[in-house]
Structure formats: structure tokens, C-alpha cells
Amino acid sequence: MRNRKKICAFLSSFFLLLSASVAVAAEPSYNNEEIFDAASGFTYKVVAYKGVASAEILDFETEESSVELTIPNKIAGYPVCLIGERAFADRMDITKVILPESVREIGKWAFSQSNVTEVVLPETLERIGDGAFYYCVGLEKINVPEHTQIGREVFRLCRQLRDENGFVIMNHVLVDGSGEWSETVTVPDGVTVIGASAFAGSMGGVATGKFILPSSVETIQSHAFFMCSADEILLSEGLKVIESNAFSSMRLSEITIPNSVLTIEKGAFQDIHTASGEKFLIKGKALSVAELCATEEGFDFEPTNRQLIGDVNGSDAYEAEDALMILQMTVKLHPVYGYTADMDLNGTVSADDALCVLQNVTKLAK
């Protein structure tokens, strides 16, 4: 009986050690080693994607001159979740690509300047990286799921995807506006987002153009008008968010911010310059994000509504609260409204402005 217990204990320990060794052996190695799968022709590497060992496709080998490429769901037992950066860039032999449901991301420049004419994307796709289909001049057909995040310049110079107005629009997002334009560019109604870098470099650097955005546009993404040059950009009520660098490095004299805008991210007008060399002018509602942006970025500001200078609480009267708020601005305890708070009109917000307000409060009390 005693020997039998010893044998059972030994066998139990043995199987525990065996299972542990198998678990260690099964743990994938994330050492960026490129692996060629001869059966499929794909080169891949094993990566940890959201905590799961997955395959990232890096290349494809074929002797055929024209290929309709179907990416497998799995390679060597690993789910294919990623298409690697520049995996199929410059390939003239691939004409059609079908991605499986397992793919979650397409890397930067993955198919850029390739000969692909049709791409089938899965509904599970979460992101398309910057420039993924850049300069795919023959690309005619692609389905982008509504929830998929689109990076910068993804469809730049994809001429076959342009509509009758010269735009590439995906799911109400204007992702590319790099066509040849006349003096006025009118974004069609229904577009809700001006995509990242959509118009970057448009207008050929000559300040003779005008951009007109409809009321349906809610967001202008980063670098949307980077290095553009225009006489005028007309923004409509309905716009809510202007992201960082949206108008950076532009040549533009002034812009009017609609009252509907709730957020202007820092650097939205970074390195902007005017044709005359004067300060850039932002027009908008006093005590709004437009005035805050002008103050923080050092631009001139002109209110589009009648506003009592010094009335920083917006009550249409001088009150002690206005003086308190101005004092809070001087020590950065309150956002600085550089135009409305500058009671003595000397170009800065200081305790003197608060004193001016209190003097007016005293006059009104007499």
C-alpha cells in the first residue's frame, strides 16, 4: 500500500513537470524573427497583439506576374491580425487583395504605390495606417467599414476613387482632396469630417483660393489644411472640433470661428503666416474658445458679437465678479480672455484691468 502511494505521488509529480515543460515550449518567442511559410508563400513574424500571440504579415513570394492575393486567417496556428508596414508596397504583381476577418490593422504604407485595383476589407478591421494605399493610381474598388479609423494620406492620389467633384469620401469622411482645383473648393454637404491631411498642400501655394465647408462638417482633423494657401476659409455653424495642426503652416490672413465650435486644440494654427506679414486674425464670439485660442497663440482677435470690455462673466454689466475673474486670469487660475479682459486696452491682462472694472462698478453704484 505504501509503495502504491509512492508510485502515485511520483506519477503526479512527473505529469506536473511534463505539463509545465509543454507550457513553456508553447510560449511564443517575440524576437521579431522573420519566418517564411513555404506552404503559403508568406513571410511573417509572431507578435503579441492585445495579449494574444498573432502573426504579422511582412511579405509574399510568388512567381506569377498577376496575383489575386487572399490573406489566410491563420499561419502556423497563429491568427493573422496585422498587415505589416510596407508589406506589399511597390508591388506591381498584386491586383486584388482579400483580407480575412482576423485582420485588425493595416500598417503604414502597406500597399502604397502598388498595382492593386480592388481590396476587400473585413468588418473587423479597426485601423488603416498612414499612407496604406498612397498613390495606388489604379485602385477602383474598396470597402471601408464605418467604424474603421483612417490614418493620414491613406488614399492620397488614388485618382480612380475620386467622385465627380474630385474628392475621395469614405463613410462621410473626406479623406483626400488633393485633386486639381479652381479658385473655389466647395466641400459637398453630408461630409462630417475633414480627414487628416485631406487638403495638405492644396492650391499650389498660390493665395487665390477659397474653401467653403458645409454645416454638416463637425470635425477638422489634424493637418487637414497643412501648408495650404488661400484667401478665405468659410467655416459653417455645426463645426465642433478643430484638431491640432489643422491649419498649420498655412498662408491665410484671417478666419471666423463659428459659435458652435467647442474645442480648438493647441497648435491648430501653428506657424500660420499672412501674405501681408501682419498678425493672423481670429474672429469669433467673445468669451469663447475662439478668443481663448487667439490669446494663447498670440493672434489678434475681433469679436463677432457686441461685448462690453471688462465684462468677463458675460452678464452685460460691470460687477465685482468680473474683477475677481480678471485677477484669477493673472495668476492662471482662470482661462485668459485676452481681448475681453483687457480693460485698459494695453494688450495685456493685469491687476490694472481688475481695478478699472471696480472703478466702473463704483461709478454705477453712485
Q: Where does a domain end: 161, 191, 210?
A: 161
Per the structure, the complete domain to which residue 55 belongs is given by 24-161
Q: Count up the domains in the chain and report the number.
A: 3
pLDDT range class, residue 198, cuts 50, 70, 90: very high
CATH number at residue 168: 3.80.10
In this structure, is residue 2 part of a structural domain?
no
Q: Same structural domain for residues 38 and 75? A: yes
Range scoring the smallest mean pLDDT among 59-68, 93-102, 188-197, 353-362: 353-362
| Mean pLDDT (the chain, rounded) | 88
Average pLDDT over residues 55-70: 94
pLDDT at 101 over 60: yes
Q: Quick one: cell of 242?
A: 478643430
d(CA 57, CA 43): 6
Q: Are residues 261 and 319 in the same domain?
A: no
Q: Is residue 18 part of a domain?
A: no
Q: Are residues 157 and 31 in the same domain?
A: yes
pLDDT, greater one: 191 or 335: 191
What pLDDT was estimated at residue 307? 84
CA atoms of 282 and 277, how far apart (whole Å): 15
Contacts of 16 (CB under 8 A, 6+ apart): none
Question: Do 145 and 176 belong to one domain?
Answer: no
Amino acid at 232: E
- Report the CATH number that the domain containing residue 146 is assigned in CATH: 3.80.10.10
Do 320 and 360 lie in one domain? The reply is yes
- Split at pLDDT 50, 70, 90, the class of 314 is confident
239-297 pLDDT, tens digit each: 999 999 999 999 899 999 999 999 999 999 999 988 888 999 999 999 999 999 999 99
Q: Quick one: average pLDDT of 130-141?
A: 96
| Tens digits of residue pLDDT in 199-208 | 987 644 444 5
Do 316 and 240 reside in the same domain of the chain? Answer: no
